[in-house]
Amino acid sequence: MKKLLLLFVSASFGFACGQGERVSKEVFEEVNKNMEIKRLTEVEILEEAMEWGDSISSEAQKQLISQLQNAISEKGIPGAIEFCNVNAQPILNEVAKRHTVTIKRVSNRYRNPADQPDSDESALLDAYEYNAENGIKSDPNIQKIEGGEVFLYTKPIAIPSGLCLSCHGDPGKEINAETLKKLDELYPGDLAKGHKVGDLRGMWAVRIPKNEVVKRL
């Protein structure tokens, strides 16, 4: 019955709208978690992916910041560097696995070379950088990749507070000698120093499979 109703709604929708509009409001048949065939528009799927990407990246950020704060209070700033070196990516991977997505933080001024953007991420990161340099506010973005089977959700990462500067600020000013020594040892090609509060530090990049988005609808 429910399925019939959905069919009716989409059919009358198609009838009410002209030919031209029909293309942009294309309706897809997708199988959701209850194995029902659901008729969804591309816009509905994109909106759900955007919301989910927002909540996943916020959750990942909260996890990182709270665990970083714990590490700083237990081991001090230089000790917390080792903590970040060993644990930052595993913390993200844990959140990612729980949501069946992948999570990265990428930056052109990377500390860990593994955080360089790939070809899908690069143009988006460059656009966020352009905006930051020109005083334009950046919004999160969602984009189809891999033939439309995966959504790439991105969101800028700014430096919100002085806390970050103890490891990403100026050596000798915010970064003390002991911290600098640790950074030099672990990250000889470090590009992630010299930041100020409000600077763009990088970008969240969350890859969300389309079929996982559909299951939520």
Q: Name the residues that contact ligand HEC, by CB under 6 A.
A: 65, 68, 77, 80-81, 84-85, 88-89, 105, 107, 110-112, 115, 157, 159-160, 163-164, 166-168, 192, 201-202
The single-letter DSSP state of residue 198 is: T
CB 152 within 8 A of CB 205: yes
Q: Which is nearer to ligand HEC, 40 or 124 (CB)?
A: 124
Q: Which is nearer to ligand HEC, 182 or 210 (CB)?
A: 182
CB 183 within 8 A of CB 190: yes
Q: Which is nearer to ligand HEC, 48 or 115 (CB)?
A: 115
Report helix, strand or coil for 105. strand
How far apart are CB 86 and ligand HEC at their closest, in Å?
8
Which long-range contacts (C-beta less than 8 Å, at least 24 apart) are formed by 124-131? 124/152, 124/154, 124/203, 124/205, 125/154, 125/202, 125/203, 128/154, 128/156, 128/200, 128/203, 129/200, 131/156
- Rounded CA separation 35/160 (Å): 43
How far apart are CB 55 and ligand HEC at their closest, in Å?
19
Which amino acid belongs to residue 93?
Answer: N
How far apart are CB 150 and ligand HEC at their closest, in Å?
22
How far apart are CB 216 and ligand HEC at their closest, in Å?
27
Q: Which is nearer to ligand HEC, 80 or 213 (CB)?
A: 80
Q: Which is nearer to ligand HEC, 11 or 86 (CB)?
A: 86
* SS3 readout for 46-66: HHHHHHHHHHHHHHHHHHHHH
Which amino acid belongs to residue 69?
Answer: Q
Q: Which is nearer to ligand HEC, 46 or 64 (CB)?
A: 64
Residue 30 phi/psi, 5-degree rounding, is -130, 150
How far apart are CB 193 and ligand HEC at their closest, in Å?
10
How far apart are CB 174 and ligand HEC at their closest, in Å?
10
